Amino acid sequence: MCVRYTLTAEEKQVLKENPYQMTGPYEPDANIAPTDFGFIVTSDEPDLIQRMHFGIIPHDAKTNKLTYDTWNIRSEEVMEKRTYKPLMVHRKTCLIIMDSFYEWQKKDGESLPYRFTVPGRKTFCVAGLWSRWIDPAGEYYDTFGMMTCVANNLVGEIHEKKRMPVILHKIDEKNWLNKKLSVDELLALCVPFPDKWMHRYRVSKKVNKVSTKLNPNKGIELTLPLDFDEEAIKPILPKEPTPKKPKVPKAPPPPDQPDLFS
């Protein structure tokens, strides 16, 4: 299942492709994991980009701690699950803005990470559901999970369970937020994105490590192809300018001397 994704584009690029109002601080992130913040557009407020935590906390949960996998939602089973059915019935749909996601290939006892992108788009949206948990003090804690479907060939060759996020075509993004559509009409959008419009490549196993406050692991270098020369991405620090020597004014030419032999 998809447990890690990225949104590394600059804010102006995100807003260019997703013309909504950003409601909070934006920071690129190359390793978004469950409980981390993601950037979401909801059916309730379709003109706003909001920050929410990745991994759904049901509204009736006793705490806001994740106790099981609620970050991925199988679209084929969503109406059978107590946690998700009410969200679909009440059209608590959302768009999850990203520019890639990671999947791991199990090989010779190792987990080898791959990055999947949609080259024709700087960012794209995955179908999701969202939920609001309210603490005893009345504070909101908003969370989301992403819809998944059967994987296309490009993802299925890597993903052990042959699943992938539901990437929406641009024309279907507003449909996913449309509260007037029936559940069946919404679920009809949950189909594999064509692999011919996607790209994948191996990345460093550094991305396997989940980021923490004490040990952050969210740098853009995580998204680079495995065979990329890491020396080439080291920041080029500006050199301290060499002080210029002060210009010494030229001495005026000496006055004409009398000819001693005249």
Condensed to tens digits (0 to 9), the pLDDT of residues 92-116 reads 999 999 999 999 999 888 899 999 9
How confident is the model over 66-75, as pLDDT tens digits?
766 789 999 9
Mean pLDDT of the chain: 87
Domain boundaries, the chain: 4-226
CA distance 201 to 207: 13
Q: pTM for the whole thing?
A: 0.84
Q: In this predicted model, what pLDDT tens digit does every residue of 160-199 receive, in sequence order?
A: 789 999 999 999 999 999 999 999 999 999 999 999 999 9
Q: How many alpha carbons fall within 13 Å on the CB side of residue 244? A: 3
- Mean pLDDT of the region 1-15: 92
CATH class of 4-226: alpha beta
Residue 100 β-bridge partners: 6
Contacts of residue 71, Cβ cutoff 8 Å, sequence gap at least 6:
1, 2, 3, 34, 54, 55, 56, 145, 146
C-alpha 199/C-alpha 174 separation (Å) is 25
User: pLDDT band for position 231 (50/70/90)?
Assistant: very low
CB 120 within 8 A of CB 162: no
- The distance of Cα 90 from the centroid of its chain, to the nearest Å, equals 26
